[in-house]
Amino acid sequence: GESVGLHLPTLSVQEGDNSIINCAYSNSASDYFIWYKQESGKGPQFIIDIRSNMDKRQGQRVTVLLNKTVKHLSLQIAATQPGDSAVYFCAERGDKIIFGKGTRLHILP
């Protein structure tokens, strides 16, 4: 069946380093992908999206990479800051939107 998963449930990164959060998806027909950030006690917040006709998209300090060959999505955060501490999850849209379980990003001082 369709599924959206994450390789690591928790990721610890030194402040200032780059963070890479990964996501696998199984529906090859999905045409739109989104990354959300969810801080403790808050609702999910849109970070960046990418359509299936692209393989890379950049935002402010964030980059999303899409590898359709292996059905893999990643979120790169440059120069990680304490404010980046949150749960990050991906979502894919095929005939419906499926959300991943999330990866918790922990920033080390």
8 Å CB contact between 93 and 30: yes
Q: Which amino acid is at 41?
A: G
Nearer of residues 18 and 32 to another protein, judged by Cβ: 32
Nearer of residues 64 and 80 to another protein, judged by Cβ: 64
Enumerate binding residues for another protein (CB under 8 A). Answer: 4, 32, 34, 41-46, 49, 89, 91, 93, 96-102
Strands 10-14 and 103-108: parallel
Give the shortest CB-38-to-another protein separation in angstroms.
9
Give the shortest CB-101-to-another protein separation in angstroms.
5
Give the shortest CB-109-to-another protein separation in angstroms.
27
DSSP code at position 106: E
Among candidate residues 58, 87, 88, 55, the one with its CA nearest the CA of residue 71: 55
